[in-house]
Amino acid sequence: MIDPALEVRYAFLRPGQAVARRAVCPVGYVPLGNLEWHGEHNPLGADTLQAEGLSILAAQRGGGLAFPPLWYAEPKRECMEYLPHLREPLAAKMELDPELFREEALPSDARAAAAFYQQLLVSILYQLESLGVRVGVLIAGHYPLIAHATIAVQRFAAEARFRRHPEPPMVPWACLEPDLRFQLEGARAGDHGGKHETSNCLALHPHTVDLALTRDREIVGAGKNAGEATAEYGRASLGAMADLMVRETRHRLEHPDWYCGASYVMQTGKWKGTP
């Protein structure tokens, strides 16, 4: 349970509380994730829970609002269960028919699924802007989603120059845990249900992790170093990444013209419609 004094989740705030937080720091964080296998020892919502935890932590440390996560609609072909070499073993673990995870079982083609998801993200960014958010952040908990989030951010920014209000428009940003780690540690440090992600889950939701399931057995569809995970490691890592996100969003608040409608600003030195 979150301390009411530290509540930053938009859905749990009364209107006056949301307005007060936005007045101090008009940043909105939207976690992106899914429901996917992360080893027998981790929760199925690990990706989303980590992105949500980061959004809450960043909002608590630097101000702003943590919006509800997007659990669904991601292109399913990018999930572990649909990888050909893991389809059968993971289906067996879940006591499901592996035929459900074949390409032919999906209702739409890959291009249509990606386009739908990207448009949904663009719509979410517009909704953030309509709620007075000045920097909208898409946090990809599931690694492949950063590609779709980046496309949505670029599309939103490109469309901004055709709109006269608000001015300047909201600055969108998409980020991903391994990329944040790279900025902090100089090395790509992400994994799938291994030490890093398992440590994050231990730090955020310890009751969802069972490290005993990582001992003396093969970990199917997850990192082999998961047994090295600790809550302390997760807390330190999440805290460092949240602080970096706060620095990035503050810079975007202070210098919106560096990040949104850049081509127009470079050509004219001002936003469309300004005197």
Rounded CA-CA distance 169/136 in Å is 11
Q: For 165-199, how does the pLDDT look when each residue is reduced to its tens digit (9 = 90+)? A: 777 789 999 999 888 888 887 766 678 999 999 99
Q: Single out the residue of 231, 125, 244, 120 nearest to residue 178, CA to CA.
A: 244
Judge whether residue 266 has pLDDT over 50.
Answer: no
Domains, the chain, with CATH or none: 4-268 (3.40.50.10310)
Q: Which residues pair with 140 in a beta bridge?
A: 32, 176
**Mean pLDDT within 144-167:** 86
- Residue 56 is predicted with a pLDDT of 97
Judge whether residue 81 has pLDDT over 50.
Answer: yes
Sign of CA dihedral 119, 30, 192, 248: positive
Q: For 101-140, how does the pLDDT look when each residue is reduced to its tens digit (9 = 90+)? A: 887 777 777 788 899 999 999 999 999 999 999 999 999 9
Judge whether residue 35 has pLDDT over 90.
Answer: yes
- Residue 6 is predicted with a pLDDT of 86
Q: How many CB atoms lie within 10 A of CB 33?
A: 23
Least confident of 31-40, 143-152, 157-166, 193-202: 157-166
- 247, 251, 253, 254 alpha-carbon torsion, rounded to 10°: 140
Q: Single out the residue of 18, 46, 20 nearest to residue 34, CA to CA.
A: 46
Cβ-proximal residues to 60 (8 Å cutoff; 6+ apart), any chain: 6, 8
Distances (CA, A) of 180 to 85, 187, 191: 30, 10, 13
CA 47 to chain centre: 8
Residue 270 is encoded by which pair of tokens?
A: 């001002």
- 179, 181, 183, 184 alpha-carbon torsion, rounded to 10°: 170
Q: Mapping DSSP to helix (H, G, I), strand (E, B) and coil, where does residue 218 land?
A: coil
Helix (H) or strand (E) holding 66: strand 65-66
- Residue 178 is predicted with a pLDDT of 83
- Residue 264 is predicted with a pLDDT of 39
- Residue 260 is predicted with a pLDDT of 63
Judge whether residue 265 has pLDDT over 60.
Answer: no
20 or 222, higher pLDDT? 20
CA 133 to chain centre: 17
**Mean pLDDT within 143-163:** 89
Cβ-proximal residues to 109 (8 Å cutoff; 6+ apart), any chain: none
Q: For 59-77, how does the pLDDT look when each residue is reduced to its tens digit (9 = 90+)? A: 999 999 999 999 998 888 7
Q: Single out the residue of 244, 32, 38 nearest to residue 122, CA to CA.
A: 32
Least confident of 104-108, 216-220, 250-254, 267-271: 267-271
Q: At what angle do helices 110-130 and 145-160 cross, to 10 degrees?
A: 50
Percent of the chain with pLDDT over 70: 91
Percent of the chain with pLDDT over 90: 64
